[in-house]
Amino acid sequence: MVNVTLFIITCVLLIILPGPDTAIVTKNTVVGGRNAGMQTMIGSCLGLVIHTIAAVAGLSAIIVKSAIAFSTLKYVGAAYLCYLGIRTLMNMRAKKNQVDEEILVVAKGNSFFKQGFITNITNPKVAVFFLTFLPQFLALGSEPFWSFLLMGVIYTVLTLLWFVLYVFLLGIIRNFMKRPATQSVIEVLTGSVLIGFGMKLALEKTNG
């Protein structure tokens, strides 16, 4: 694994950006209290663990079988990060409506845990993200399986820590995060970092 600091910073920026998981955790915490929020968070993180295991197994197999396929995947990942950054910047004003719509995706009647799990495990963007994001930080000559597993664990732990903080301080954070100025700063920063990182990866020469 290369540049652990950059990996962690990028993960944090991506994790705090509101999405389906944040939406359902917010809704359930407001409706059912902190306990409901924690149950939702655990379900979501379990889905993340499954995505991680699937990505680790798949990526390791690709690297062992085809160096060309892996190089192609890296370029696809760089393009995806740029796309994600551009979309973040373009959707700044539509974020509120987007989150409101995402909350409606969860089916009624499920437990809080199931809601968090289903929201994460059925989101194809999570799988695509892992398959394109993790390869960017693989060091040359390193064992892919353990490197990807370590990155997946770090990402999952950071997600867990963020949601624990978010649930416990929801009253304060929710009001702060909903301010237009705060939304703009977070989204501009995240979008710019993703675009810059994606361009850097695309312009790097492939070794070997």
Confidence of residue 174 (pLDDT cuts 50, 70, 90): low
Q: Measure the CA–CA gap between 119 and 99, rounded to whole angstroms.
A: 13
Residue type, 96: K
What average pLDDT score do residues 10-37 get?
80
Verdict on whether the full-model pTM lies above 0.85: no
- Give the range with max mean pLDDT: 9-13, 28-32, 173-177: 9-13
**CA distances for 22 relative to 90, 153, 167, 196, angstroms:** 20, 19, 10, 25
| 193 neighbors 13 (Cβ within 8 angstroms) | yes
> Six-digit token pair at 151?
């990155």
- Please, are residues 12 and 147 in contact by the beta-carbon 8 Å criterion? no
pLDDT of 124 reads: 65
207 contact partners, CB below 8 Å, separation of at least 6: 140
With bands split at pLDDT 50, 70 and 90, how would you rate the model's confidence at 107? very low
Which residues have C-beta within 8 Å of that of residue 164, sequence separation ≥ 6?
Answer: 38, 41
Residue 103: pLDDT above 50? Answer: no
With a cut of 50, say whether residue 207 has pLDDT above it.
Answer: no
Token match 């998981």: residue? Answer: 21
Q: Where are the alpha helices (DSSP H) in 17-33?
A: 20-32
Q: Is 48 left (phi over 0), alpha (psi -120 to 50) or beta?
A: alpha
Where along the chain do its domains lie? 22-203
Residue type (1 letter), 99: V
Q: Given this model, what pLDDT does residue 80 score? A: 67
Q: Could you say which DSSP state residue 79 is in? A: H
What letter would DSSP give residue 140? T
